[in-house]
A = this chain, B = another copy of it.
């Protein structure tokens, strides 16, 4: 079963969500409309909506209700990307110009605010306050994750626990609640809701660790930006943490380079090479795999349905992807 085949199974419902996304962000303001539509068109795998749909198959599946939770989850993800761009001074995302570089920081900030607001407006479809609580909690944790990332930038003393908590907040939680909310919106069993949350959380952790590995081992073409960007921006991820923890000389080298006036991609090249050739990558892959296998454990406890296989397939793809 290939990933594309799973998407094919849900094609008509994904199209419904896609149309709903577009209709939702259309604003009576040109700048906002253009900025938001541009973001939408930049694509992405719509992994959060797909998880909503698959999770809902374990309950009473109704796309006309589900779209009101799939859309906000994708929008919250999009809004956080826009605000991320403000922060990162990132001029490229998926190889395209970001909203920020094309317009400016201020427009990017309000576009993010606008998309956040639209996410919330869409979710008001549901009466169930638990859905709103889970959604707003996820938004808050994402903010905490972002603030922690700022706080921890260029901090070479941080430990693994701090890193794991940060990626939980930044990435894993929204994927976890996508699975959970799909199940809740479809009135699935509480046990099923919990297992799907666990599944999503572990997939999300594996996903982010894989992302952080790729920032070292990926090619510029694969990444849509030069490798080593995280380190250059002072974002200390798992491979760098491992190296700095096990090799005091490398630690000194990295600290020296990044505390210099303006480190650039040429200077950082040899350091990236050293990390690529160290045990750090294997170690990080191992940790990612551990999360993945916990995700599979959660899946095992779900009722036997074809969607179990689909979720397994997507999880494996996400945790093992090379780009």
A-to-B contact residues, CB < 8 Å: 27-32, 83, 86-87, 105-107, 109-114, 116-118, 120-121, 124-127, 129, 132-133, 136-137, 139-140, 143-144, 146-148, 150-151
Contacts and interface: CB of A to CB of B under 8 A. Distances in A.
A114 B143 contact: yes
B121 A106 contact: no
Copies in the complex: 2
Contacts of A30: 151
Given A106-B87, A109-B83, A121 B133 contact: yes
Given A83-B110, A110-B83, A120 B147 contact: no
Given A83-B110, A144-B32, A146-B110, A124 B117 contact: no
A237 B114 CA distance: 24
A105 B83 CA distance: 11
Contacts of A111: 147
A32 B140 CA distance: 11
5 nearest CB pairs, A to B = A121-B136, A114-B143, A117-B140, A124-B132, A120-B136
Contacts of A118: 140
A124 B129 contact: yes
B31 A114 contact: no
B144 A133 contact: no
A109 B87 contact: yes
Given A109-B86, A148-B29, A150-B107, A139 B117 contact: yes
Given A32-B143, A124-B133, A127-B127, 17 more contacts: A27-B144, A31-B147, A32-B147, A87-B106, A107-B147, A109-B109, A111-B147, A113-B113, A117-B139, A117-B143, A118-B140, A120-B136, A121-B133, A121-B137, A124-B132, A124-B136, A125-B129
A121 B83 CA distance: 20
21 contacts: A29-B148, A29-B151, A30-B151, A32-B143, A83-B109, A86-B105, A87-B110, A105-B105, A110-B143, A110-B146, A112-B113, A113-B143, A113-B146, A114-B143, A114-B144, A120-B132, A120-B136, A121-B137, A124-B133, A127-B127, A127-B129
A87 B113 CA distance: 13
Nearest to A114: B143
Contact of A116 (B105, B106, B113, B133): B113
A301 to B, nearest CB: 29
Contacts of A29: 144, 147-148, 151
A31 B129 CA distance: 29
Interface centre among A109, A133, A146 (most CB of B within 10 A): A109
B83 A113 contact: yes
